[in-house]
Structure 1
């Protein structure tokens, strides 16, 4: 029972830790998504800014070039104003059309967002802030993982120490209660003890190894008492109460149980309810209860008197 409580308590602590880790991972995923979106947005802003700058630069360069050409042509025209200059005029008209076209294209570009750089800096600052949070979350997540691993290692160590000690006690106690017999516990999964259960096998004297389901009532009683005493030796209690635990035992086995309780009574107090005189004979104090006329009567019985009764039988 105490192993079960320890296991449940530790499992609960791990579930809470796992819940915290899951929350941190969820929050980290949220930050990573926002960071990714910010990166994409910053990239688009930067690309748009570069494209606009490039278009403006090309158009302004083109206008300057065309205006230079126009000035040069007009200067030449002034020198040859009396000559036939029809072809030259056509060239000038063409140049003016190209200049006007370039100006129209600049207008189509619209107003340039001169705050793009400032927006970029702000978004970059937010990006760096989220990046720092992400790093911190990773560090916290790693710390929690390490803590969980440490707890798992300690839990496994404590459990195996308890299991091995109780198993050792079980073998010794059962061999006392059933001379020539053997009882042993084993794990369903030795690699991961907490993913499986604990099995108990018993080999009564002169019989094959059996599981509890296949044993008689008396054999089950001896196995159960052996396990109880094995656990209590690992975690002793100052007080024990047994209620007719010898009900399914024969005389020989009942005597062995009485002897064992007598031994253990040096370290703890036992109150045992029994109908077996052989078990009661090992008690320091005997209190009898009888019914007469529908009324229960309690009386003290000397151990010597009980021994005399046993001898008569």
Structure 2
């Protein structure tokens, strides 16, 4: 690139010297600019004169229409123009004669006056029929003559400007052709200059890139020597003799130096980062002896293999636990639904006992959730159809009272809900009886008839579980084995009273 750059410099100097000889063309350029200015001024003058000529022709056409109209009106008697002063004069004469006739008593004198009035009117009409007002017509014709004269002058001016403009265009064309001929002679020289300058800039750029690469290689070489020194300190003399050792890849295959040099730069940079990490680990470990480093490497490798085996065992255990969880989910679902069936049998029995009939059961339902709609950039829904998805499973109570059309739990009264709840509670207790059941005023909302039914149910339930009831209902208390009460004595302290009905009956007998 350096020798080519010097050659381009010599060729560029010769082309510039050739262009310097053609500086005489500046005078012709100034002349063509002057001609362009004259042509523009002449064209503007021509356009102005043409505009004025068009305006004069419009005015002349308007006057011609006015003259024709005036002549037409004068030829027609119906559109004859009469001056107001003549009409007023006629009116005064007629009024004078009429006033004079009003003073006459003779019929002949009045007729004479009327004949005079007729004569005035006939004479006025005959006079104005023959009179012609040519003043306005003459004025319009004089104005038209003036405009025709001005038009003639403008026509001559437009013709002169057209001739001048044509001559200027010819001169301009001839001068431009002469200048273009001179440009053709210098065009090759200018082209050579441009090509040489472009190539010169390209070579300068290439030299800059090569210089930058050279500086980078020098820095990399210095870094490599420094890293070798650090490796010698950390791992011993073997690192200085790296060229004598064979390079192995991850699979244990031999890697040749040519293959490493042909690698992409980013691959080498990644390997360098890995080496830097190893160096940091060696420094943290206080490494300085290659035998110690290799020993630690083997221990770390064995530890890594052991942890890999442990990780595999943990993954197998996780898979086993996932399978166990799936089996438990199936088993729980099965047992849950079987339990629902058992509860439904007892629930129906207690419900029929409480209400004298009807049906009641528990149903496993899955809640329907509305899914949030998603839209694209144009506002159109991404998914069609109903935006619903299934939720978690739950339990719903389905009841139907006897002799009523009520089918849902929400339609029941407060007492009916209480009875339904008691029936469900006792049904659950019957399926898997607990050792103790504590009921806190569950019979508060029951009337006397339902209290007896409630008493029968707790009597039956007491066969399977120990019942502790808190109640104010006499019917419920009558079914108890032992009755406890809390009262306040005269000293203001609470006292606990108890009665065992079996002993009380024996004493009473």
Q: TM-score, normalised by structure 1?
A: 0.50
Q: Which has the larger radius of gyration?
A: 2
Q: TM-score, normalised by structure 2?
A: 0.32
